[in-house]
Amino acid sequence: MSHKNRRKLRTLRAVLATITGLLATSAVQGQSGVVLHEYIPPDVAEDLALGTLTSSGKMPAVMRTPSGLVSAPDKLKSSTDGQTPTYATSAAKSANRFQIDGTTSDPGALHYHEPFRPSIAPFKRLYAFDAVNEAFELYLSNPARHAASLEGSPDVGDDEFFADLTIVGGQAVRIPSVASGMHVLATDLEPSVPFQLLVDTADNWFFQAPGLIGKGRLIMRLAAPRAAMSPEFAANSYAALVAALPEVPASVRRTAEPILAHIGVSRALSPTQAVRILIGYFRAFLPSQEHIQEVSGSVLYQQLTLSRKGVCRHRAYAFVVTALVLGIPARFVHNEAHAWVEVFDGQLWHRVDLGGAASGIHYDGGKPEGPAYRMPKDNYEWPSQAQPGDQLSAKPGLENTESTAADSANGAQGNSTNNAPRPPSQAAPRSSPSNDPKSSMSMPEPEPLAEPAPASSVAENRGISQLTFKVVGSANVHRGEALSIEGSARSDGGPCGLTRIDLELKRDKERYRLGSTATDEKGRFSMQVAVPLRLGVGPYELTAASGDSATCRASAR
């Protein structure tokens, strides 16, 4: 080889070495995070204008709704990463009845999973009951289920939604719905295996896929009557409601009829007038620190209804029992964080929120994507101290929490510890699945009242406490009716905050404990108690006493 050719070869080798070095450098830089392609997020307005479909071609990529433009869930974004709750409660193991409890205090912040776009939090329908038995338990009058078919397009007056559910296969599994009368327009299951959607007579929904091994992801396009999410109720005849009315036991009628008279409703009023009065009455319930000790279904129903004491589940439960006795079909509906009612006007079941919502919600699996659902106007009056459910979803400052094995075993259904009383700022702990067949919202045992401090711990030179109270309204109260009391407790050192107050009725040697409450940080307290039905007629002396503590102890009458 000539000298000239050898020099050309050395030059070629140098060029090749330089190119190889550049390629190697580029590879290393790429592995170090160099962006080779720019991600361009989807333009929802453009997708809507072009009529873009999802990757499966089964539903639109974007929908225009009264709440705004809503994008379909992204199939490329995993929802089975352990953060999203799995709907896995089989129909056979679902709670088949609901039994109310006597824990009427604010439960604090609760966990909630929102699978719908636009978000309907906290009104995801998970359990619905439409009848009452002799034990004053709510149950489903007709558990028969039928297969739901795809309908293709929404009806006039419908609102549309997307649903995104992580779900298990095998036997029928309970899944949530957006409203009564919901219908399915399109579905997309990954992995793609045959499945069936089932719905029962109270619009409880179920998913069944015997061939699905492990978890799947179900995306649906849904529609539901907007009027079903409005409390506006119009029915002029009880005869038009009979077909949807379950049988009510005679013992339940005997218990509830005096309460109907107390509330001021009867069949002399039209169903529309009666429902308006019932809504106003049950929205005026208030949470209470007093635990109602009665376990008898009839007496517990009486005390809750007459004292107007309790949170969302108590007022919804009492409303349903009362409405059924009056002749108005009503359902008790709940999920893991809220409870409300539905009433039937002969055409539609209407959602009616009675308030009593918790202090806040912790979103499991991430906060809802996209806009919140713009609900129809509520023209019924709300008391000043009400806690409507739609305000619950708007409360800020609640962080997401990781799901645990309880999500896989129990889906997103409620459990007993989620409803235990706790400070509003404290997160609700995750709990193991409840095996209680009565209800997914069965309540825990009440927290014990604070015990008096030992005598040795009480300061010897503390100031004398002052306890004052008054009866709000008339002190001439009938048995079974509510007695409202307000007062305050303070010592020479200032207000007696967070102090137990015990109330009793006394006559001669007879003593009847009405219950206990606690003062707030400023030493004030208020409570409603039901006058026991067993009391004799006549005058009584009302007394109040604070529990012993290191700072406050007093009594008054």
Distance CA 323, CA 238 (A): 12
Task: Tell me what pLDDT residue 55 has.
Answer: 83
pTM over 0.75: no
Q: Residues 428-471: pLDDT tens digits?
A: 333 333 333 333 333 333 222 222 333 333 333 334 568 888 88
Q: Which of 191-195, 343-347, 462-466 has the lowest mean pLDDT?
A: 462-466
Distance CA 291, CA 449 (A): 10
Q: Which of 8-22, 97-111, 142-156, 203-217 has the lowest mean pLDDT?
A: 8-22
Q: Residues 364-416: pLDDT tens digits?
A: 988 888 899 999 999 999 998 888 998 876 654 344 433 332 333 333 333 33
Distance CA 186, CA 233 (A): 30
- Give bridge partners of residue 53 from the DSSP assignment: 60
Q: Is 392 helix (H, G, I), strand (E, B) or coil?
A: helix
- What is the helix (H) or strand (E) element at residue 334, kind and residue range? strand 330-334
Q: Which of 14-18, 239-243, 491-495, 532-536 has the lowest mean pLDDT?
A: 14-18
Task: Tell me what pLDDT residue 290 has.
Answer: 83
Percentage of the chain with pLDDT > 90? 51
Q: What average pLDDT does range 479-499 have in this prediction?
A: 77
DSSP for 348-386 reads -EEEE------SEEEEBTSSPPSPBP-PPP--S---TT-
Q: What average pLDDT does range 6-17 have in this prediction?
A: 44
Per the structure block, which two tokens stand in for 128? 């619905």
Phi, psi dihedrals of residue 441, rounded to the nearest 5°: -115, 30
Q: What average pLDDT does range 525-544 have in this prediction?
A: 76
**Confidence class of residue 41 from pLDDT cuts 50, 70 and 90?**
low
Q: Residues 206-252: pLDDT tens digits?
A: 999 999 999 999 999 999 999 999 999 999 899 999 999 999 999 99
Residue 141 has pLDDT above 60, yes or no: yes
- Give bridge partners of residue 159 from the DSSP assignment: 224
Q: What average pLDDT does range 472-489 have in this prediction?
A: 78
- Give bridge partners of residue 125 from the DSSP assignment: 177
Task: Tell me what pLDDT residue 465 has.
Answer: 65
- Contact between 504 and 543 (Cβ < 8 Å): yes
- Contact between 71 and 117 (Cβ < 8 Å): yes
Q: Look-up: residue for tokens 């705004």?
A: 68
User: What structural domains does the chain harbor?
Assistant: 63-94+145-227 (no CATH), 97-115+123-142+228-400 (3.10.620), 455-556 (2.60.40.10)
Distance CA 43, CA 39 (A): 12
Residue 164 has pLDDT above 70, yes or no: yes
Distance CA 109, CA 400 (A): 12
Phi, psi dihedrals of residue 407, rounded to the nearest 5°: -65, -45
Phi, psi dihedrals of residue 162, rounded to the nearest 5°: -105, 150
- Contact between 333 and 342 (Cβ < 8 Å): yes
Residue in 169, 167, 174 with CA at minimum distance from that of residue 91 = 174
Task: Tell me what pLDDT residue 166 has.
Answer: 95
Q: What average pLDDT does range 323-351 have in this prediction?
A: 98
Torsion of the alpha carbons at 204, 209, 210 and 215, rounded to the nearest 10: -110
Task: Tell me what pLDDT residue 547 has.
Answer: 57
Task: Tell me what pLDDT residue 415 has.
Answer: 32
Pick 162 or 391 by higher pLDDT: 162
Distance CA 498, CA 496 (A): 7
Residue 449 carries which DSSP code? Answer: P
Residue in 320, 315, 372 with CA at minimum distance from that of residue 338 = 315
- Give bridge partners of residue 187 from the DSSP assignment: 220
Residue 4 has pLDDT above 80, yes or no: no
Task: Tell me what pLDDT residue 498 has.
Answer: 65
Residue in 326, 227, 345 with CA at minimum distance from that of residue 278 = 326
Residue in 135, 153, 131 with CA at minimum distance from that of residue 344 = 131
Per the structure block, which two tokens stand in for 465? 């406490």
- Contact between 84 and 168 (Cβ < 8 Å): no
DSSP for 245-281 reads PPP--HHHHHHHHHHHHHHT--TTS-HHHHHHHHHHH
Pick 15 or 183 by higher pLDDT: 183
Phi, psi dihedrals of residue 67, rounded to the nearest 5°: -90, -10
Neighbours of 4 (CB within 10 A): 8
HSE toward the beta carbon, residue 53, CA cutoff 13 A: 7
Q: Residues 44-83: pLDDT tens digits?
A: 777 777 778 888 889 999 999 999 999 999 877 755 455 7
Largest CA distance in the chain: 132
| Contact partners, residue 355, CB within 8 Å, separation at least 6 | 283, 285, 312, 315, 382, 383, 386, 387, 388, 389
C-alpha 403: how far from chain center: 18
Residue 167 has pLDDT above 90, yes or no: yes
